[in-house]
Structure 1
Amino acid sequence: MSQVTKQIHKNNPDFVPSLYERFLFISLGTGTTSAEKYDAKEASQWGALKWLIGFDFSSPLIDIFSQASSDMVDFHLATVFQALQSPDNYLRIQDDTLSGTLASVDIATSENLNDLVKGGQKLLTKPVSRVDFDTGKAKSVHPKITN
């Protein structure tokens, strides 16, 4: 996306703004746990140690930065496509409900990988959603249009 945008800004004739209208850009997330994992009022009282290791060695600081990075990329791309009047040409597929072993990036057992495949197949049947620019959260586009 960045390279395409750079080429458009450089007026490269091979990359015209209408390029966004000709393709469907799909962004696949690796999944996250609940987006509302930490309470802001509680977190405001934490010292450096709690931010680094949390209450259960969960590394809240790393969790928050990782999630924020993913959310900002999604928000940015959605904004770009909205500005180019092509919001239907950008699709972000992300599961924010992972828990247990499915939420871990380092459990590569056959059972867990099979469960991830099933989760991915289930995501394809969920309604398409887009970021709501007012709330920053995903909002269903239409209940009958699926990923």
Structure 2
Amino acid sequence: MEPAEVVKSEQEWREQLTPAEYAVLRQAGTEPAWRGEYTETKTKGVYECRACGAELFRSDTKFESHCGWPSFFSPLAGDRVILREDRSMGMVRVEVLCARCHSHLGHVFEGEGFPTPTDQRYCINSISLRLVPDETP
């Protein structure tokens, strides 16, 4: 894995993030299903990493998966996220990290049969994201 572009000490991350944000972004936690602010949001815009501000996903790749967390079928570009094997919780999953600061975002799943162009579901914690709405003319 390439080194993070944004590097901070754990104390600096703790000062910047709320305890809940820190638990998910820096300790690979998971927010409770159906509790995140973006689970059912339809606002058009760009979803950024809450820790470093990197642009990660566009709202036009967000879809209804009914899983309890925001779901996207693709990041803005492949180099915006890092994928790595996660063997926690007694299963093998693919963890999604922000490529810029290596913060935990969620997991990606394939082959679930959703009618999307990629057949992937980036299941992302709302608390890992910040939505920047498109400007309206």
Give the TM bin, normalised by the shorter chain.
under 0.3
TM-score calculated relative to the size of structure 2? 0.25
TM-score calculated relative to the size of structure 1? 0.24
Which structure carries more strand by proportion? 2
Which structure carries more helix by proportion? 1
Greater RCO, CA 8 A, separation 6+: 2
